[in-house]
């Protein structure tokens, strides 16, 4: 850790403290054969701490694109962005690193391509924890954004970091944002608060902490260096039956498109294992839910595969956010109509159920994310809870519990693999708060 504000604000010293060493990079192409992600980075943190602005500073794309999000100034839905990291030859570390937000080197040098990452931007507002949990189920790394001009931890900082722990995200980086709004002394005081929070309240110990200004693009280069150093490429598991977690679904047709020119619906999300390719026959479960709550599995074909950066792929692999074009009726996929489903080869997906068994339940001692200190009582029979299982968000009623296990009747049909983490939220002062977790069984 930095011992004072001078070390914290000196790039060379900070790089040395973090152990960043990129001297061993080999010859690199100017452009990759495929813009294929080596891992999915999920943003996390309190509302208005700058997650979306930082994503834009890294990638050049502001992930909040829906009109309601732009008007309210907060992220409501999960946002996709693609990060390309480049190396400028004959330049110093970390100034040698640029990204697709501005892939330009000083002088006449052309940047060399290093790596691709997917970035999933999570909403930070307290009423949207279930959306954050849905996204956390498919990410590989956490980029925790903490504003330097507010005390640490704020309620949703604590809740989001707990969500990352529950979902099994092992590697995180902290971006200490909005450094332009505070003095050097206040910046270092906040830095020490961040260290105390992670050291004393989490399992992460002291993570890499990078002071940045997303708005003014300060220290984005050293944040890129930290991403390269600490977010190593994930090993891709292409074995076994493919299973794709649907996080978004939409109608790709513009309003007013002539019926003869309409194309099929699109699905967004990530493969958890296996491989899918263009032309594959696919099944989606639970699929379409009727008015009387019956699940109708859907069958279609993969027409095309596209990365979060708009690059075409012939095959989809794990550890990347991708969009899959299908021949489905776009009326079914519009407005996230199939979010929370799984997709794969026909007859090779988990069963559709409406009652589940949750085992190995662990409840937190206190309500995480609440504005005041509140005890967290055990689950009780008849209680309504909100469950996040993979990308699926579902209300349930506790039919039976002994504290360590529970039988839950779900509001809507579900199809998720046995062994998936079940994040449990309960209604606290008219908002759902994360209170515990368990393992899915049938």
Q: What is the pLDDT of residue 86?
A: 92
**pTM score:** 0.92
Confidence at residue 152, expressed as pLDDT on a 0 to 100 scale: 96
How confident is the model at residue 70, as a pLDDT?
A: 32
What CATH number was assigned to the domain covering residues 243-344? 2.40.30.10
Q: Are 237 and 218 in contact (CB under 8 A)?
A: no
Q: For residue 37, with 0-12 CB atoms within 10 Å meaning exposed, 13-18 middle and 19 or more buried, which class applies?
A: buried
What is the per-residue pLDDT across 70-129, written as a single tens digit (0 to 9) for each? 333 434 467 789 999 998 888 887 888 999 999 999 878 888 899 999 999 876 455 567
pLDDT of residue 24: 55
Domain ranges, ordered by start, for the chain: 5-230, 243-344, 353-441
- The yes/no answer on whether domain 5-230 falls in CATH 3.40.50.20 is no
d(CA 389, CA 414): 9
pLDDT at residue 2, as a whole number: 85
Q: According to CATH, what is the number of the domain 353-441?
A: 2.40.30.10
The predicted structure's pLDDT at residue 134: 85
> Which residues in the chain come in under a pLDDT of 50?
65-76, 124
Task: Report the Cα 112 to chain-centroid distance in Å.
Answer: 27
Q: Do domains 5-230 and 243-344 have the same CATH topology?
A: no
> What per-residue confidence (pLDDT) applies to 39?
96
| Tens digits of residue pLDDT in 166-183 | 999 999 999 999 999 999
């Amino acid at each position: 850790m930095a011992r004072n504000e001078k070390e914290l604000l000196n790039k060379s010293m900070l790089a040395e403290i973090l152990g960043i060493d990129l001297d061993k990079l080999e010859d690199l192409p100017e452009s990759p054969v495929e813009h294929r992600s080596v891992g999915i980075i999920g943003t996390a943190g309190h509302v208005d701490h700058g997650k979306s602005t930082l994503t834009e500073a890294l990638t050049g794309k502001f992930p909040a694109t829906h009109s309601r999000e732009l008007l309210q100034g907060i992220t409501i839905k999960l946002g996709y962005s693609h990060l390309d990291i480049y190396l400028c030859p004959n330049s110093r570390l970390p100034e040698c690193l640029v990204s697709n937000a501005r892939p330009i080197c000083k002088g006449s040098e052309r940047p060399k391509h290093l790596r691709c990452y997917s970035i999933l931007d999570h909403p930070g507002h307290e009423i949207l924890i279930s959306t954050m949990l849905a996204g956390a189920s498919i990410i590989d790394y956490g980029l925790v954004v903490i504003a330097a001009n507010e005390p640490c931890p704020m309620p949703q900082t604590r809740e989001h970091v707990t969500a990352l722990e529950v979902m099994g995200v092992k590697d995180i980086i902290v971006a200490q944002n909005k450094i332009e709004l505070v003095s050097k002394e206040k910046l270092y005081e906040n830095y020490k608060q961040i260290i105390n929070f992670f050291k004393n309240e989490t399992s992460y110990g002291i993570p890499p902490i990078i002071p940045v200004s997303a708005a003014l693009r300060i220290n984005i280069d050293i944040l890129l260096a930290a991403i390269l150093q600490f977010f190593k490429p994930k090993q891709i598991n292409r074995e076994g039956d493919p299973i794709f977690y649907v996080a978004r679904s939409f109608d790709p047709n513009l309003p007013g498109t002539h019926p003869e020119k309409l194309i099929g619906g699109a699905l967004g999300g990530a493969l958890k294992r296996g491989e899918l390719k263009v032309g594959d026959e696919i099944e989606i479960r639970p699929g379409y839910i009727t008015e009387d709550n019956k699940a109708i599995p859907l069958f279609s074909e993969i027409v095309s595969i596209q990365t979060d950066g708009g690059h075409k792929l012939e095959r989809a692999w794990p550890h990347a956010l991708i969009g899959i074009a299908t021949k489905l009726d776009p009326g079914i996929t519009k407005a996230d109509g199939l979010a929370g489903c799984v997709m794969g080869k026909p007859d090779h997906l988990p069963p559709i159920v409406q009652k589940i068994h949750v085992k190995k339940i662990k409840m937190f001692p206190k309500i995480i994310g609440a504005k005041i200190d509140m005890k967290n009582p055990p689950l009780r029979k008849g209680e309504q809870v909100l469950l996040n299982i993979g990308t699926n968000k579902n209300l349930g009623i506790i039919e039976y519990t002994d504290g360590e296990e529970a039988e839950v009747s779900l509001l809507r049909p579900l199809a998720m693999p046995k062994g998936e983490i079940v994040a449990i939220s309960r209604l606290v002062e008219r908002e759902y708060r994360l209170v515990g977790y368990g393992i899915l069984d049938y």
